[in-house]
């Protein structure tokens, strides 16, 4: 059943919008630009490319060339937001994924490289689509233009050595779903997808049509990622209107969590389907992939969320701690976010934790080079007792599956800033927040072998 037409959503939201949209400008943890975003875009001919990405990777080499093109900014997802999309894909571990709005193939590369790193190329499949111009115009000229743009994007995928994972096509979301059904029928596979990324038409009609089209291939546990979800930052309100409608009028169908992005906080939202046929979970090839996924999601969130104070609790691996410090440091010196300052940031480790100090080198399959990240220049790492007050928390990272740290977790979540986030390895923090009736958005990225949740405090 379709979620609703864009007309129905517009009519509904016109009377309820003031009740469901939060005033994010008042949130202490909500990152805002130091100046006008149009001024930034006017001064930038392309996205600044991070030094910390692994230049030996064919995918990163292709991304570097694509980000040098003026047409990539701001039409393509930024490198920092791309890293977040990559990390989310690695944690979610979809065997079958969809992308609506492939354009040059930038976001395709971010997703496909994560799928290749986690699963066998024989197992992982990513189907992407874009209208590549006028659609559904069928003039000879328009068909030639679309074909030429598709071939350009396919070359980008091939040069990234991802052609065995990613397939690109011309068309809208409905056409893409039809292709997925046909391919699944031929291969004798289940057509349900584990993850979908929607970054196409940003009007309400467009994004509602895209989600309606892919809903038949979403199962229980499938994740959908929407881009450009903060109208006050990105200037388009279609995705936000749809999300507000889902959260208030389609309750129980999806859970969702908003995430900030850098350097422009256009934002992404992760949704997880709560009903339907349960998708068969993908499994990591080995424990190293699970470790890499935890490190990357920690780093990507710290880089994009721009937290000034992060508190860690539980038996977190030291690689995760280092990744958090690295992401915080890069966010701290981001000129667009720092407002001309370089504030001191704190990463607080609760002292009675059994932090795993054993070195575990990051896999050579990851897309970034951890050794290239500058750490702890202005990001202060502090060890303290669990009873010490922490009053300016922008982000909590917790590993807890049992009730051994209930009191400490209660304190952390209670003291979390409005707009702040939780990354949880284990379901216990989510259960505690629910028990305390703390208003939060939650989204489960993965169920097995250990639940991984992201949450955001909203009031």
Residue 389 Cα to chain centre, angstroms: 31
> What is the rounded distance in angstroms from the CA atom of residue 170 to the CA atom of residue 446?
31
User: Looking at residue 175, what is its pLDDT?
Assistant: 94
Which residues, including other chains, have CB under 8 Å from residue 144's CB and lie 6 or more apart? none
Q: Dihedral through CA 198, CA 199, CA 200, CA 206, nearest 10?
A: 60
Tokens of 81: 């937001």
User: Looking at residue 286, what is its pLDDT?
Assistant: 66
Mean pLDDT score of the chain, rounded to an integer? 84
User: Looking at residue 401, what is its pLDDT?
Assistant: 67
pLDDT higher for 20 or 218? Answer: 218
Residue pLDDT, tens place only, 276-326: 988 877 766 567 888 899 999 999 999 999 998 999 988 898 899 989 999
**% the chain with pLDDT above 90:** 51
Q: Do residues 95 and 124 lie in contact, with contact meaning Cβ atoms separated by under 8 Å?
A: yes
User: Looking at residue 84, what is its pLDDT?
Assistant: 98
> What is the rounded distance in angstroms from the CA atom of residue 256 to the CA atom of residue 443?
5
Q: Say whether pLDDT at 50 is over 60.
A: yes
User: Looking at residue 4, what is its pLDDT?
Assistant: 62
> What is the rounded distance in angstroms from the CA atom of residue 263 to the CA atom of residue 32?
10
Tokens of 132: 């590549």
Q: Which of 15-24, 80-89, 170-179, 246-255 has the lowest mean pLDDT?
A: 15-24
Residue pLDDT, tens place only, 333-369: 877 665 445 567 888 888 654 555 554 554 545 555 5
pLDDT higher for 429 or 334? Answer: 429
pLDDT higher for 102 or 26? Answer: 102
> What is the rounded distance in angstroms from the CA atom of residue 93 to the CA atom of residue 105?
20
Residue pLDDT, tens place only, 363-401: 545 555 544 454 445 667 777 665 555 677 999 999 986
Predicted confidence band at 15 (pLDDT cuts at 50, 70, 90)?
Answer: very low
Q: Say whether pLDDT at 185 is over 90.
A: no
What mean pLDDT comes out for the span 224-245?
94
Q: Considering just the CA atoms, what is the radius of gyration of the chain in Å?
A: 21
User: Looking at residue 40, what is its pLDDT?
Assistant: 63
Q: Say whether pLDDT at 108 is over 70.
A: yes
User: Looking at residue 252, what is its pLDDT?
Assistant: 83
Residue pLDDT, tens place only, 241-290: 999 999 888 878 999 999 999 988 999 999 999 999 888 777 665 678 88
In the sheet that holds 309-314, the strands lie side by side as 379-384, 345-350, 309-314, 393-399, 416-425, 452-457, 440-446
What mean pLDDT comes out for the span 177-196?
89
Closest CA to 279 of 419, 11, 97, 437: 97
**% the chain with pLDDT above 70:** 81
User: Looking at residue 353, what is its pLDDT?
Assistant: 47
Closest CA to 267 of 89, 445, 85, 44: 85
Residue pLDDT, tens place only, 125-144: 999 999 987 767 778 888 88
User: Looking at residue 337, what is its pLDDT?
Assistant: 61
Q: Which residues are registered as beta bridge partners of 37?
A: none
> What is the rounded distance in angstroms from the CA atom of residue 90 to the CA atom of residue 289?
9
pLDDT higher for 165 or 1? Answer: 165
């Amino acid at each position: 059943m379709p979620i609703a037409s864009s007309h129905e959503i517009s009519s509904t939201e016109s009377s309820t919008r003031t009740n469901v949209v939060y005033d994010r400008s008042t949130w202490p943890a909500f990152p805002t630009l130091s100046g006008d975003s149009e001024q930034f875009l006017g001064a930038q001919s392309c996205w600044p490319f991070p030094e910390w990405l692994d230049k030996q990777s064919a995918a990163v080499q292709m991304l570097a060339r694509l980000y040098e093109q003026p047409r990539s900014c701001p039409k393509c997802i930024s490198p920092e937001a791309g890293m977040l999309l990559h990390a989310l894909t690695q944690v979610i571990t979809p065997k079958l994924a969809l992308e609506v709005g492939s354009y040059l193939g930038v976001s395709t590369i971010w997703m496909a490289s994560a799928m290749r790193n986690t699963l066998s190329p024989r197992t992982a499949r990513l189907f992407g689509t874009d209208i590549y111009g006028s659609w559904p115009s069928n003039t000879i000229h328009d068909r030639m233009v679309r074909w030429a743009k598709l071939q350009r994007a396919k070359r980008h995928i091939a040069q990234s050595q991802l052609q065995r994972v990613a397939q690109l096509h011309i068309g809208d979301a409905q056409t893409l779903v039809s292709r997925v059904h046909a391919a699944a029928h031929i291969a004798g596979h289940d057509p349900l997808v584990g993850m979908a990324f929607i970054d196409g038409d940003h009007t309400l009609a467009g994004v509602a049509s895209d989600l309606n089209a892919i809903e038949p291939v979403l199962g229980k546990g499938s994740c959908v990622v929407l881009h450009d979800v903060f109208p006050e930052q990105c200037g388009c309100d279609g995705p936000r209107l749809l999300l507000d409608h889902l959260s208030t009028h389609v309750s129980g169908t999806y859970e969702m969590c908003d995430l900030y992005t850098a350097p422009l906080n256009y934002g992404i939202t992760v949704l997880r389907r709560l009903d339907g046929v349960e998708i068969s979970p993908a499994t990591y090839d080995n424990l190293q992939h699970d470790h890499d996924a935890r490190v990357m999601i920690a780093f990507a969130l710290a880089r994009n969320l721009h937290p000034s104070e992060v508190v860690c609790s539980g038996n977190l691996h030291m690689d995760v701690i280092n990744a958090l410090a690295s992401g915080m440091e890069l966010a701290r010196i981001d000129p667009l976010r720092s407002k001309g300052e370089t504030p001191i940031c704190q990463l607080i480790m609760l002292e009675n934790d059994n932090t795993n100090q054993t070195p575990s080198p990051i896999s050579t399959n990851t897309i970034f080079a951890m050794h290239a990240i500058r750490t702890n220049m202005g990001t202060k790492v502090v060890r303290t007792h669990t009873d010490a007050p922490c009053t300016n928390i922008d982000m909590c990272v917790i590993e807890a599956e049992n009730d051994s740290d209930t009191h400490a977790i209660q304190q952390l979540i209670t003291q979390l800033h409005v707009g702040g986030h939780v990354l949880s390895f284990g379901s216990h923090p989510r259960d505690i927040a629910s028990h305390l009736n703390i208003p939060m958005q939650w989204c489960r990225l993965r169920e097995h072998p250990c639940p991984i949740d992201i949450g955001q405090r909203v009031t």
